[in-house]
Structures are given as C-alpha cells and as structure tokens.
Structure 1
Amino acid sequence: MRMIDASTPLRVYLVEDDDDLREDMALLLGSAGFEVLGLADAPAFYKAHALAPCEVVVLDIGLDGEDGLSLASQLRASGSIGIVMASARGAVEDRIAALRQGADVYMVKPVHVDELSATIRMLGSRVRSGRQPANASAPSLPSGAGWRLTEGDWMLCDPEGKTLKLTSNERGFLALLMRSHGGVVSRNDLLAGLEGEAGALDPKRLDVIASRLRRKSEQAGMRLPLHVVRGAGYQFAA
C-alpha cells in the first residue's frame, strides 16, 4: 500500500472507450498534477483498481459491455471513492440516473479540463479526509453520520432519534444530497433531480426548500448539517 500525504498525487482512473479522447484527457489531467491511468472498459478498470485502488474515477456512460451506470453503482456500494460521470448525454433523466446510481458529479461533454480538475481535487480531498490513520485514537465518522431517511425517504432522522416529516420537494432535495456522501451537489443537478417532483425549474426553489428545511428542523430541535457552497451548490455534511 502506498503512503499518502498531502504531496502525494491523487490517483485517477479515466474509463473512456474513445481512444483519442481517453489519451488526450489522460495527458491533460496528468499535466494538471494527477496520477492518471486511462482504461477502455469496466473489466480493465476492475483489474487496475484491484491492484492499485484509485481515489477518483471519471466514467463515461456508454461503455462497451458493462456501462458506466452499473460501474458507478458497484463502486458506490464497495467503498469510499469519488465518482465523476462525464457523458455526451445531457438529458435530465440521464443526470438523475447517474446521481441515483452513485455518481457524485455529472458533467456533460465536452468537459473543460480545468473544471474537471477542480472537481477531481474536491472529491479527492473528501475521500482522503474520510480515511482513518491506523494509529488514530478514535474512529472518524462519514459526513452526515447518523442522519438518515426512513419510511420511503419521507422521514428525516437525526443522530439523536428526532424525526422530521418531509414534503415531496424536501424529500427529493435531501435524498440527492445525502446520496452524495458529503459531496457538493450542484444547483443544476439538484434542479434536474427535482424536476420530476414538481413543475418548472426555478433556481430560487432550492433556496426556498433549504430555508424551509432549516426552519422546520430548528423547530423540531434538530441541527441540520445543510450548507450552501458559494458558486458550487449545496452540501449535507456534519
């Protein structure tokens, strides 16, 4: 196992079946300071990840054989890893499907390398901060530890057992945030996820939902770990 400190480059695997695009993106991300390996499909990824686990993976959806959605679902269930979905598919239903399968961030191609690099660094920092040193005196808890959605996601429970009944919009909003495991979810992805819950996409709806959740949680004696990340989106992290 490699020793990791702040100076160790993030290990990033790029799973993309377009040979030219994979080579170009790997070169650009390598120039940005990451340890990058480009892979053509899911079997190649699984083999590389088993030998040397990566901290962040950038996935295309339309891979030959097992697609990116299935791969994201497997990774999300298996451990701590940052998952970026990068696809030419920009439809709302594609974004929602990717987030529900475990992606932290959904980006539509063509992806700007600076934006992708910033996203990778954010996710890599989150993954590393969640890892517990072997000689630490106490175990660390994941972001939002103890908070959960129950009864079909219609009830929010805090670590002390207090509960809060949610509306349809509140339920969808929190479900997307909590599935990101402490990551920042962009306003666009939140709005996309809420479109099926209620009407037109009005960006102000997010602030209204967040404000109402904070007010209701305070009234219920709960300290809701809901944060606005300026210029990025929202985060649910204790």
Structure 2
Amino acid sequence: MIGEKSKQGGATITPLVYLVDDDEDFREEMVLGLSRLGLEVHGFHDAAALYRVYATRPPDIVILDIGLEGEDGLAIAAHLRASQSLGIIMATARSSIDDRVDGLTRGADAYLVKPIDLRELAATIVALNERLKRLRTPSQPPPPTPQWALVEGGWVLTDGIGHRLRLTTSEQCFLGRLFSERGKTVGRRALVEALGADVYDFNYGHLDTIASRLRRRAEKSNMLLPLHTIRGSGFAFSD
C-alpha cells in the first residue's frame, strides 16, 4: 500500500498532512482516500483554519489550492516556507507554465494540476516525505520557540530569539489591541476603536492592509508572525 506506515526504532512513523481547499467535495474525497491509504490527513477550507491548528501541531506536508478566498495558496506557501522545514504541494486547476513556475518559485516542492488522481497525490506525498527525512538531521536541536512580546512602550515587536521589528503608529495600536486578548479573536470594530478612528466612517478593508503589510515586514525580519485573519470576525494573535 502506498501509504504503508514504516517503523523506525520501534516507533510507527507516518507523515502528518494538512490539505487546504475550499472545494468541499474535493477536500473530503482526498482526505478520505489518503486516509484509507494509511496517511494521517486533515482538511481545512482556508488559511485561517490552517493557521489555528498549525500553531499547535505543525505538519510534515501541506497541500494547497491556489484559488482560496482571503489569503491564497501562493501567499500561504510563501508564509510557511519561512518557518520550519516542511513539504509543500500545490494541487490546483491552474495549469499554465507561468502558474507552475510561480508556484514553485513561491515555495512549492511539487505542483499537481486538477483533476488529480489519488494515487499520484499519495505517491507525491510519500516521495516528498522520504526526501525531507533524508535532509533532516536528528542530531540538531529543535529550533527555539518564539516568545512574542511588545517592548519599548509597545513600539517594538520581538520574538524573543533575536529578531525585532519597530512598528508604525497604526501597527502599534493594532497589535497592542490583539496582545490585550492574546489567542482570542478581536473584532474589527474593536480594532478600529484601538486605531482611534470613527467606527461609522472607516474603510474596514484598511485593517487587512495593516495586517498584510505587517506580515510582509515581519517576514523581511525573519519573523513568522502568528497573526491570523478570522473570516467574518476579525483577527487573532496566538503562538
């Protein structure tokens, strides 16, 4: 069986796989089929759902559709590639050479075009996982866990492992409000109030701009920011 679990040092080993696709039928078909082949697979409909689970249990491999609402698959791939070593597979209907090149450039290890045969996807997962296992060096200590904090009066974000980011005024207000309810969803109205703006005369899309810009600036400072957009609700900052 393609997904046969292997044994290493007496322990049963199988890759943990997360699949992100907003097509419920495809997602359920792939999760069920791959699970029957012996793989541990969990499905998610968007980036926010993925990030919530990823923060507590990182996977070995992530399978991403590109055309997701909110944060698309390419943005997720670039975001995850800056973190731990993991495998990224694009599973999408976009088939042009430009799309393939863009996907691989943004961090994908493999690029599959829908309709996708279950056996091909399973074989890709197993082959990629084996390659990653050979690249990993068990003798190396695990990377340090970030300890996020706002310092210097709330104007500097630090991850506690040597990286710092000086915030703009809007970023300081935005993150300060999220830190006040760490790990919980803070509604958009509460964030607008934290910015000192009029909740009735404010372009709420500007909150997404602040969050997106903050993530990009953090990535340039080698910081993987656990800032999550909760669709229809607001934002959350959780380790």
- Specify the SS of the correspondent of 2:12: coil
2:28 aligns with 23
Distance in 2 between the 1:128 and 1:70 partners? Answer: 25
Return the offset for 1:86. Answer: 0.6
Q: 2:67 aligns with which of 39, 50, 62?
A: 62
Give the AA of the match of 1:91.
S
Q: State percent identity of aligned pairs.
A: 50
Find the structure with the greater CA-based Rg: 2
- Specify the SS of the correspondent of 2:127: helix
Distance in 2 between the 1:100 and 1:119 partners? Answer: 18
| 1:45 paired to 2:45 | no
| 1:123 paired to 2:128 | yes
Give the AA of the match of 2:65.
D
Return the offset for 1:127. Answer: 2.3
Q: 2:115 aligns with which of 79, 102, 110?
A: 110
- Specify the SS of the correspondent of 1:132: coil
Distance in 1 between the 2:120 and 2:12 partners? Answer: 21
Q: 2:102 aligns with which of 97, 106, 111?
A: 97
Return the offset for 1:65. Answer: 0.3
Return the offset for 1:74. Answer: 0.8
| 1:73 paired to 2:78 | yes
Return the offset for 1:129. Answer: 2.7
Distance in 2 between the 1:49 and 1:129 partners? Answer: 23
1:13 aligns with 18
Return the offset for 1:79. Answer: 1.9
Distance in 2 between the 1:126 and 1:75 partners? Answer: 18
Distance in 1 between the 2:116 and 2:44 partners? Answer: 18
Give the AA of the match of 1:59.
L
Distance in 2 between the 1:130 and 1:7 partners? Answer: 20
Q: Give the 4+ runs in structure 1 shifted more than 3 A.
A: none
- RMSD of aligned residue pairs (Cα, Å): 1.7
Q: 2:92 aligns with which of 62, 87, 90?
A: 87
Unaligned runs of 5+ residues in structure 2 are 1-6, 142-239
Distance in 2 between the 1:12 and 1:127 partners? Answer: 13
Distance in 2 between the 1:93 and 1:67 partners? Answer: 16
2:38 aligns with 33
Q: What is the number of equivalent residue pairs in this alignment?
A: 133
- Specify the SS of the correspondent of 2:28: helix
Q: 1:132 aligns with which of 126, 131, 137?
A: 137
Give the AA of the match of 2:96.
A
2:223 aligns with none
Return the offset for 1:11. Answer: 0.4
Unaligned runs of 5+ residues in structure 1 are 140-238
CA deviation map 1:136-166 (0-9, x unaligned): 3x78xxxxxxxxxxxxxxxxxxxxxxxxxxx
Distance in 2 between the 1:126 and 1:80 partners? Answer: 11
Give the AA of the match of 1:65.
G
Return the offset for 1:124. Answer: 1.2
TM-score (norm 1): 0.53
